[in-house]
Amino acid sequence: MSVESYDEVWAVKASRIHDYFSSLDGLICKSSDTYSYTGAEVTVSELDARSLGSLVFFQTRVIITGLNAERFHDAFKLQFLSGGA
């Protein structure tokens, strides 16, 4: 069994991602930006926002690793691609 890993930058405020993680039952908050959940380790890092004219794009780096990283990543992706949270 191999360890999966995802290292992505999302155009979502870090606070929205933290709120989503905080709503999960069984989540363990290891530090202000590191979580453990069902066999996956997650690190959330707020990056500098980018702007294009008057538009501002928030950037948050999300790293998900572990034996259940794919399952957790799929749920995370669906939450934010569907406009949830």
The full set of domain ranges for the chain reads 4-81
Q: Which residues contact 33 (CB under 8 A, 6 or more apart)?
A: 43, 44, 45
Does the domain at residues 4-81 carry the CATH identifier 3.30.1370.80? Answer: yes
Contact 17, 24 (CB under 8 A): no
Tell me which residue of 14, 7, 8 sits closest to 65, measured CA to CA. 7
Question: Buried b vs exposed e over 19-33: b needs ≥16 C-beta within 10 Å?
Answer: ebbeeeeeeeeeeee
Mean pLDDT of the chain: 89
| pTM score | 0.86
pLDDT at residue 85 tops 50: no
| Confidence band, pLDDT 50/70/90 cuts, at residue 51 | very high
Question: What mean pLDDT comes out for the span 18-38?
Answer: 90
